[in-house]
Structure 1
């Protein structure tokens, strides 16, 4: 499992434009502080400080080769991983001073 803090802030989304997006066949067009206002220059990401935390690997050997077919087990393990990642993100956000300076 890997926790990322920071990459979501390179293009902070203010709104989702859906009308024109529907005509283009895409779910939405993101409206950011720089796009579409600055045209193609608005696609340049804002600077942000990133933190990448690699969590310990998960040992799945105890579950056996057919465990992937057990939907309840897969769901429980997925929730466990999500919770571990979320705990790291919450803890790191508490200690962060700024999205640009870390």
Structure 2
């Protein structure tokens, strides 16, 4: 006769004993320990003053980027996400296919 594995769920109407212990820590959790001692190197602000970001936000970077070959078409759709196109002069490939100034639909 083979052994039947224990079911992962308790029988209907019975509480899982592990769940009971988890939701009643005041009964089952051990007392708090003494904690740790903070060293003098950690005391105060060990990481120094927070740095200020010098970069522009992504939204501000994309506005009027002035990059050669890039054409802004303004916000599109309900989300109002920015959209645009580029021509061959914006390509970094070896052999751009359309002449500079002509917009591609990509």
TM normalised by structure 2 equals 0.17
Higher relative contact order (CA 8 A, sep 6+): 1
TM normalised by structure 1 equals 0.17
Is the helix fraction higher in 1 or 2?
A: 1
Q: Which has the larger radius of gyration?
A: 2
